[in-house]
Amino acid sequence: MGKVLIIGAGGVASVAAHKVAQNSDVFTDIMIASRTESKCKALAKAIEDKGLVPAGSIKTAHVDADNVPELVALFNSYKPDLVMNLALPYQDLTIMEACLQSGVSYLDTANYEPKDEAHFEYSWQWAFKERFEQAGLTAILGCGFDPGVTSIYTAYAAKHHFDEIQYLDIVDCNAGDHHKAFATNFNPEINIREITQKGLYWENGQWVETEPLEIHKPLTYPEIGPKESYLLHHEEIESLVKNYPTIKRARFWMTFGEQYLKHLDVIQNIGMSRIDEIEYTAEAVDGSGPVKVKIVPLQFLKAVLPNPQELGENYEGQTSIGCRIRGIKDGKERTYYVYNNCSHRAAYEETGMQGVSYTTGVPAMIGAKLFMQGKWKRAGVWNVEEFDPDPFMEQLNTQGLPWHEIFDGDLEL
């Protein structure tokens, strides 16, 4: 049905590429392109060795996704129907620009962040709306789990279970154990930037700011039990309160263990989460004397931390992510909790990656599949909740992320 080009060969891209190959009736041609082509080749071989697609059928390429002309040259030579941007949020704008210049549709899982400022918001990507509309191209934003599935859960609740959604709490628990003293579950640089930011939530038509991780409380997760959960700013809140204006309050909660927070504290206190460039004098490794070296501490830290892609093998336990919603149906108040639990081990056995990469890569494939099938194809720039949630919810059940519902239970919030 269509040609797909995946950019990135990290944890999320690895899962998405496996799932794309499992759906090769829809994805007739696959290319994986990234900064380090050897990783693309290794990924293509791992998928082909599993017999998911014929040997040699997945193409690979080198591309620097910060470089628009390089991207345009690749898109013009491969001519994909859709580019799945599974690199980093820094590359969103260059890849969108290249898609426009080459006439290709676009999908991502995280909104744009400038490299030199730990700040994310949709305005930069929403600014492309008119150009995508005029070009007759589709851009699907935020098609991972959160954002992504959580946004679709909200759309599904609004379509089937509520006349008016009033309170939305997105709850994200990782109750897994990777047996490392400290590691992040996706790109460490992006992850630490997100968590060390000020908290933010929406209440009565305005944003309320908190100190980082200031607000927290124990929440009970299905099959897991109570876990301390911390209020964070998360990008899907921005588009959901715009698309569902009846929402009076929207918040995002994520669990962290004591050990994780202790390390994070130390990292911040000693300046290793800094994202500005610093210069220091080091002894040259060849003994030729002192040399001036420039580093960004957080990027250096990423290089010494465990690679999230290598956590899978010993990862036990599960993730549990969902939406807890309160609102009105037929004149009465009701509550609704919709969630998925994902086993790290099952994710690893299927794709070689842990649950956090899995819960992001599977929805990215589903969004791409619905685009290829014409169900989610519409000129413009869209957050996922603006499409019909029903075919997506159906696919979640068959592609490895089944969901469950609790009606009129205690939301704890």
Which C-beta is closer to ligand NDP: that of 88 or that of 231? 88
Residue with tokens 């998360």: 234
Q: Choose which of 80, 199, 308, 389 interacts with ligand NDP (CB under 6 A).
A: 308
Check binding of 87 to ligand NDP (CB under 6 A): yes
Tokens of 182: 């400290």
Q: Which of residues 311-370 bind ligand NDP (CB under 6 A)?
A: 356-357, 360
Q: Which residues are CB-contacts of 165 (< 8 A; sequence separation ≥ 6)?
A: 154, 157, 158, 244, 246, 247, 325, 327
Q: How far is the CB of 143 from ligand NDP (least distance, A)?
A: 8
User: How far is residue 259 from each of residues 95, 135, 266, measured CA to CA in Å?
Assistant: 37, 49, 11
State how far the Cα of 292 lies from the Cα of 289, in Å rounded to an integer.
10
Nearer Cβ to ligand NDP, position 35 or 263? 35
Taking the complex as a whole, the smallest distance from the CB of residue 305 to ligand NDP amounts, in Å, to: 11
Nearest residue to ligand NDP on Cβ basis: 10
CB 100 within 8 A of CB 131: yes
User: What is the C-alpha separation between 106 and 111, in angstroms, rounded?
Assistant: 13
Hey, which residues between 125 and 144 contact ligand NDP (CB under 6 A)?
Answer: 144
- By CB under 6 A, is residue 186 in contact with ligand NDP? yes
- Among 12, 83, 254, 311, the residue binding ligand NDP under the rule CB under 6 A is 12
Token code pair at residue 232: 């964070």
Decide: helix, strand or coil at residue 399: coil
Closer of 213 and 311 to ligand NDP (Cβ):
311
- Total residues contacting ligand NDP (rule CB under 6 A)? 34
Exposure of 317 in the CB half-sphere (CA atoms within 13 A)? 16
Q: Which is nearer to ligand NDP, 318 or 326 (CB)?
A: 318
Q: Which is nearer to ligand NDP, 184 or 326 (CB)?
A: 184
For residues 75 and 85, the answer to whether their CB atoms sit within 8 Å is no
Look up residue 72 and give its two tokens. 């345009």
Closer of 39 and 326 to ligand NDP (Cβ):
39
Helix (H) or strand (E) holding 38: helix 37-49
CA distance from start to end of the chain: 45
- CA–CA separation, 111 and 88 (whole Å): 9
Nearer Cβ to ligand NDP (132/358):
358
Point out which span in 2-10, 74-82, 160-168, 269-277 binds ligand NDP (CB under 6 A): 2-10
Instruction: Pick the closer one to ligand NDP by CB: 78 or 145.
Output: 145
Q: Which stretch binds ligand NDP (CB under 6 A): 157-165, 182-190, 324-332, 336-344?
A: 182-190
Q: Are 166 and 154 in contact (CB under 8 A)?
A: no
Q: Which is nearer to ligand NDP, 23 or 34 (CB)?
A: 34
Residues 14-43 that bind ligand NDP (CB under 6 A): 34-36, 39
Provide the 10 A C-beta neighbour count for residue 154. 27
Q: State the minimum distance, in angstroms, from the CB of residue 302 to ligand NDP.
A: 8
Q: Candidates 106, 145, 253, 376: give the one binding ligand NDP (CB under 6 A).
A: 145
Q: Are 376 and 139 in contact (CB under 8 A)?
A: no
Q: Residues 202 to 261: which contact ligand NDP by CB under 6 A?
A: none
Q: Can you tell me which of 63, 95, 99, 342 binds ligand NDP, judged by CB under 6 A?
A: 63
How many other CB atoms are there within 10 angstroms of residue 289's CB atom? 7
Here's the x/- map for ligand NDP, 90-109, by CB under 6 A: it reads as -x-----------------x
Residue 84 in contact with residue 368, Cβ under 8 Å? yes
Q: Which residues contact 219 (CB under 8 A, 6 or more apart)?
A: 171, 173, 226, 227, 229, 253, 255, 412, 413
Out of 30, 98, 110, 254, the only residue in the binding site for ligand NDP (CB under 6 A) is 110
Stretch of 85-93, 257-265, 288-296, 386-394 lying at the interface with ligand NDP (CB under 6 A): 85-93
Binding site for ligand NDP (CB under 6 A): 8-13, 34-36, 39, 63-66, 86-89, 91, 109-110, 144-148, 186-187, 190, 308-309, 356-357, 360
